[in-house]
């Protein structure tokens, strides 16, 4: 599960349908791309209100504009609005994450107590996602290269001192560790329980500084905490003096970026345009794009169009 966004989203699984709030607003800046010339019809692409989702949605809108559609990019921060609109076709496309969205749909279809259907295996998670999405009139396209997952980082000094490369290495230390994360990490299966069960890592306490926050990274860099919960698409981890330890036993689920399209809206050229983009975009690319917005204060639409131009996709 894409843990960090799920913490601030509705229920436990809302990474794609948003940060708590309501309503939708049009993108303020589309990077100079004219999205009003399309002659093949109109499509609305919705993001979930956080940086990465906004960048992805703007890229989706831009490549669909190039494919001949009149497109609009909008932020919809309430699942009560975005999911029904997606199923009805008012929203044509959203950027999602395979494992998290499979679990989100599973809850919608089978109830809040339904067990997780996602796994670290991309093929298995994607197969489940396709089956569930079809029941809601949706089609997931081909998952991309980019993956946004939980990751766990120690300070570079700590890693060197104990010769750490993987989470298995950390577990072998056997020492009690203070983890900088959200308080929910105590019970999340992919956080403290998973670290203990899968790797034998001894988390003595949680420092509730949040997920992938500046404060949590600083606490680990300074030695106040020994471990931080971060994200694979955070480009600032290295510059913060931290080292991400490899999830060598694959604790985290397969949260690869995937476009979700209303099936009635789907056309071959829509599929081609979006699949070409996701086949190009890497985890490293996404991390750098996030940094340009969050650190460089650039607009998501500008960052999106600049990237597409650099890859000859626009």
193 and 230, same domain (yes or no): yes
Last residue of a domain, one of 200, 218, 245: 245
Is 20 in the same domain as 137? yes
> Which of 245, 272, 295 marks a domain boundary?
245
What is the CATH classification number for the domain harbouring 282?
3.40.190.10
CA distance 103 to 97: 10
Rounded Cα gap, residues 153 and 245, in angstroms: 6
Residue that finishes a domain, picked among 245, 273, 290: 245
Residues composing the chain: 314
What's the mean pLDDT in 151-156? 97
User: Minimal CA–CA distance to 137: which of 264, 229, 227, 222?
Assistant: 264
Distances (CA, A) of 77 to 4, 21, 72: 16, 5, 16
Is residue 210 located within the same domain as residue 306?
Answer: no
Judgement on whether residues 79 and 196 belong to the same structural domain of the protein? no
Task: Give the chain's radius of gyration (CA, Å).
Answer: 19
Predicted confidence (pLDDT) per residue in 12-71, tens digit = 333 333 333 333 444 444 566 778 887 899 999 999 888 899 999 999 999 999 999 999
* Weakest mean pLDDT among 152-156, 177-181, 208-212: 208-212
* Residue 201 belongs to domain with CATH number: 3.40.190.120
Range of the structural domain that residue 157 is part of: 150-245
Strand partners, 178: 205
Same domain, 9 and 82: yes
Question: Based on the domain organization, do 31 and 155 belong to the same domain?
Answer: no
Q: Distances from the Cα of 299 to the Cαs of 77, 109, 222, 292, 303, in angstroms?
A: 18, 36, 32, 8, 6
Q: Are 75 and 25 in contact, with CB atoms under 8 Å apart?
A: yes
Nearest to 259 by CA among 136, 130, 153, 151: 130
Q: What is the pLDDT of residues 89-144, one digit of tens each?
A: 999 999 999 998 999 999 999 998 898 898 999 999 999 999 999 999 999 999 99
Residues 281 and 204 in one domain: no
Looking at the fold, whether 76 and 198 belong to one and the same domain comes out as: no
Number of independent structural domains in the chain: 2
- Are 32 and 60 in the same domain? yes
Same domain, 9 and 58: yes
| Among 74, 79, 59, 71, residue whose Cα is nearest residue 24 | 74
């Amino acid at each position: 599960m894409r843990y960090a966004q799920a913490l601030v989203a509705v229920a436990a699984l809302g990474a794609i349908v948003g940060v708590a709030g309501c309503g939708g607003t049009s993108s303020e800046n589309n990077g100079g791309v004219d999205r009003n010339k399309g002659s093949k019809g109109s499509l609305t692409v919705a993001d979930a209100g956080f940086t990465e989702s906004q960048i992805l949605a703007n890229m989706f809108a831009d490549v669909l504009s190039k494919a001949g559609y009149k497109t609009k990019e909008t932020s919809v921060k309430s699942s009560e609005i975005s999911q029904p609109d997606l199923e009805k076709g008012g929203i044509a496309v959203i950027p999602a994450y395979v494992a998290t969205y499979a679990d989100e749909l599973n809850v919608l279809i089978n109830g809040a107590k339904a067990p997780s259907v996602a796994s670290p295996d991309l093929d298995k998670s994607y197969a489940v996602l396709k089956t569930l999405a079809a029941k809601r009139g949706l089609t997931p396209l081909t998952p991309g290269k980019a993956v946004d997952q939980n990751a766990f980082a120690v300070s570079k000094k700590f890693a060197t001192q104990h010769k750490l490369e993987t989470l298995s290495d950390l577990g072998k230390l056997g020492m009690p560790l203070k983890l900088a994360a959200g308080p929910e990490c105590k019970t999340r299966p992919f956080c403290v329980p998973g670290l203990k069960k899968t790797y034998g890592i001894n988390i003595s306490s949680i420092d509730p500084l949040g997920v992938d926050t500046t404060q949590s990274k600083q606490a680990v860099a300074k030695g106040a905490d020994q471990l931080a919960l971060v994200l694979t698409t955070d480009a600032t981890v290295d510059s913060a003096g931290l080292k991400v330890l490899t999830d060598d036993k694959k604790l985290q689920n397969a949260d690869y970026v995937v476009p979700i399209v209303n099936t009635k809206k789907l056309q071959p050229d829509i599929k081609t345009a979006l699949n070409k983009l996701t086949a190009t975009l890497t985890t490293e690319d996404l991390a750098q794009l996030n940094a340009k917005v969050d650190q460089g204060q650039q607009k998501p639409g500008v960052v999106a169009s600049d990237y597409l131009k650099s890859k000859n996709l626009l």
